[in-house]
């Protein structure tokens, strides 16, 4: 009696069907970056201490610009009005306050997370510390540029409408380079604040360094001999920003293109230092 033999199982019979987790492709770096930017956008605009402060800085730029323009005196021989006779410079007189506020916002966006420990969760969720820095820079930079440029344009238009000096006013279309230069400068100040937040990981330390290095430092440098001041002062971030925002350049200032390059070097350099330190240190 012969017994029937079963055929050997084929390779297709022993192959397990692919599961959905095996067939799903991993998200690309671009998609991960998009998720990180979206997360930072939600955090930034849902925290009132940052979003409201940023909007207030824009409104302060317009309000103070109108006040300065309304009391301007082109013939003043002394006092603040003597240094702000140009109608556009007068209208943008509130930028000095706005840049300080915006710089503080940049520090708080980062240092606030270090103080609460949220930065550890952010690093773990995103998976890349450099991506965290980039996403924060994109969100804060885009927000500041939009609000800062709009505020500068509003200050110029409304300031010209109430200008009380003797010089001829100008249309907005004639000073678009100054308006965009102001927006770029305010954006850079915010990014410097972000960099200092990552470098120092302290709200007080970051704000103190920002105020001392960007706003007080140039005044202290003026106390040094002219042979030193004339060489180094114009390369500081605040002085380069003044050249970017000025309608009329002076011999003591850099050209607009050179000032933009110097200012960009400060911003990129500080963000680069922040990226290196973040990678090397524990959160």
Closest Cα to residue 183, out of 222, 156, 215, 212? 156
The pLDDT tens digits of the residues spanning 112-129 come to: 999 999 999 999 999 899
To the nearest 5 percent, what fractions of the chain are helix, strand and coil? 75, 0, 25
Q: How far apart (Å, rounded) are the C-alpha atoms in residues 186 and 180?
A: 10
The pLDDT tens digits of the residues spanning 43-100 come to: 999 988 888 999 999 999 999 999 999 988 755 544 444 555 688 989 999 999 999 9
Secondary structure (DSSP) of 98-121: HHHHHHHHHHHHHHHHHHHTHHHH
DSSP code for 214: I
Inter-axis angle of helices 237-245 and 176-200, to 10 degrees?
160
Domain edges within the chain: 30-280
Q: How far apart (Å, rounded) are the C-alpha atoms in residues 68 and 158?
A: 11
The pLDDT tens digits of the residues spanning 145-191 come to: 999 999 999 999 999 999 887 888 888 889 999 999 999 999 999 99
Q: How far apart (Å, rounded) are the C-alpha atoms in residues 9 and 2?
A: 21
Highest-confidence segment of 26-40, 128-142, 242-256: 128-142
Q: Enter the pTM of the model.
A: 0.86
Q: How far is CA 28 from CA 31, 84, 123, 133, in A?
A: 5, 52, 18, 18
């Amino acid at each position: 009696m012969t017994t029937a033999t079963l055929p050997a199982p084929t390779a297709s019979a022993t192959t397990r069907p692919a599961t959905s987790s095996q067939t799903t492709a991993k998200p690309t770096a671009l998609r991960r970056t998009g998720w990180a930017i979206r997360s930072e956008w939600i955090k930034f605009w849902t925290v009132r201490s940052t979003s409201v402060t940023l909007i207030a800085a824009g409104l302060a730029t317009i309000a103070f610009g109108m006040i300065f323009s309304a009391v301007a005196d082109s013939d003043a021989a002394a006092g603040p009005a003597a240094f702000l006779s140009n109608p556009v410079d007068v209208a943008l007189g509130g930028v000095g306050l706005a840049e300080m506020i915006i710089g503080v916002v940049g520090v708080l966006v980062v240092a606030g997370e270090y103080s609460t420990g949220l930065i550890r969760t952010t690093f773990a969720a995103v998976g890349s510390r450099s991506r965290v820095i980039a996403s924060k820079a994109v969100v804060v930079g885009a927000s500041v540029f939009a609000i800062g440029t709009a505020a500068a344009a509003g200050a110029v238009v409304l300031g010209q409408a109430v200008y009380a000096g003797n010089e001829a006013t100008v249309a907005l279309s004639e000073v678009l380079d100054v308006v965009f230069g102001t927006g770029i400068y305010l954006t850079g100040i915010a990014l410097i604040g972000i960099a200092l937040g990552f470098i120092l990981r302290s709200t007080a330390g970051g704000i103190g360094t920002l105020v001392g290095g960007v706003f007080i430092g140039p005044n202290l440098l003026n106390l040094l001999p002219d042979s030193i001041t004339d060489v180094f002062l114009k390369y500081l971030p605040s002085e380069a920003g003044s050249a970017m925002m000025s309608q009329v350049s002076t011999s003591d200032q850099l050209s607009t293109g050179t000032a933009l390059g110097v200012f960009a070097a400060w911003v990129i350099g500080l963000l680069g230092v922040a990226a290196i330190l973040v990678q090397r240190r524990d959160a």
